[in-house]
Amino acid sequence: MRILVTGGAGFLGSHLCDRLMDQGHDVLCLDNLFTGRKSNIEHLLGHPRFELIRHDVIDPFKFEVDRIYNLACPASPPHYQYNPIKTTKTSVMGAINCLGLAKRVHARVFQASTSEVYGDPAVHPQPESYWGNVNPIGRRSCYDEGKRCAETLFFDYHRENGVDIRVVRIFNTYGPRMNPDDGRVVSNFIVQALRGEDITVYGDGSQTRSFCYVDDLVEGFLRLMEQTATVGPVNIGNPGEFTMLELAELVLGKVGGRSKIVHRELPADDPRQRQPDITLARKYLDWEPTVPLDEGIGKTIEYFRGQI
């Protein structure tokens, strides 16, 4: 197939491009390189089945394709808050442009949504049926509400125009090719530990997240895209739930060195807890994560050791 991956030079997108190339597809990687890096896809550049298109999803695009994976959007809080209006535009206009293209060329289109649609969840763990608890006017809203609106557009194009959609809600994912400067907790802690700097735990560190290794996540993407039992939304994430203090201690234990844990102010609207209910992923995709946090963190540390 010919497959378009928006955001394909980013952390998740580059791993998805790798898997699609391994499967023998033609891959068009569309990216404006805001948070993505050419180095993530360097090994694919020049391959006859791979093309990098430097373009912004806000502006319309046309390609004859069979599948569209829409991943273009900065994902780390410092990056999506850097230009919040642009972040909302990227989610909303990017969704409209992908859906318009899918409608025109009869492609199946996949939206990378997020556990952020659940906001600071009052239901725990979070099933897809939970409508969420999102502040519409806070610092995180440009991302959360942009992604919620994108889901709305996907379902309206599906109901109104019969567009063949798939929607995944991704929970925190980590692994090689995370940007060392992007401010997310796993990359921050590992880079700080490797440099012998203090480990910055925001707040008292009792807030929780559930961390999925990138290879598991991409397997879930492919299974969701190529099955026909559900259009989603389907949660993909690892149900193992850890406090940020536990994560800091795990990283410190593995890297060794002289870093100390220090506490910094908790950002506004930081969700208290997050854990995916993956009943639907198990049922429809026969999917569940296979890489435990301890093992995945080890692989990620090795990657960053080679980077810095």
What residues line the site for ligand NAD (CB under 6 A)? 6-7, 9-13, 31-36, 56-58, 71-75, 90, 112, 114, 170, 172-173, 179
- Minimum CB distance to ligand UDP smaller for 51 or for 270: 270
- Minimum CB distance to ligand UDP smaller for 138 or for 267: 267
Per DSSP, the three-state class of 201 is strand
Q: Which of residues 203-232 bind ligand UDP (CB under 6 A)?
A: 207, 209
User: Are 17 and 50 spatial neighbours (Cβ–Cβ below 8 Å)?
Assistant: yes
The torsion angle over the Cα atoms of residues 187, 37, 78 and 220, rounded to 10 degrees, is -70
Binding residue for ligand UDP, selected from 7, 10, 74, 77, defined by CB under 6 A: 77
- Residue 102 binds which one of ligand UDP, ligand NAD, none, with CB within 5 to 8 A depending on kind? none
Q: Which of residues 94-153 bind ligand UDP (CB under 6 A)?
A: none
In whole angstroms, what is the distance from residue 13 CA to residue 126 CA?
Answer: 25
- Minimum CB distance to ligand UDP smaller for 109 or for 119: 119
In whole angstroms, what is the distance from residue 307 CA to residue 64 CA?
Answer: 37
User: Are 203 and 265 spatial neighbours (Cβ–Cβ below 8 Å)?
Assistant: yes
In whole angstroms, what is the distance from residue 167 CA to residue 110 CA?
Answer: 6
Report, in Å, the least distance between residue 56 CB and ligand UDP.
23
Number of residues near ligand UDP (by CB under 6 A): 14
Report, in Å, the least distance between residue 73 CB and ligand NAD.
4
Output the DSSP codes for 28-68. Answer: EEEE--SS--GGGTGGGTT-TTEEEEE--TTS------SEE
**Which tokens go with 80?**
């999506």
* Binding status of residue 280 toward ligand UDP by CB under 6 A: no
* Binding status of residue 188 toward ligand UDP by CB under 6 A: yes
Number of Cα atoms under 13 Å in the Cβ half of residue 275? 12
Report, in Å, the least distance between residue 115 CB and ligand NAD.
6
143 assigned to active site:
yes
- Minimum CB distance to ligand NAD smaller for 147 or for 259: 147
* Catalytic residue list: 143
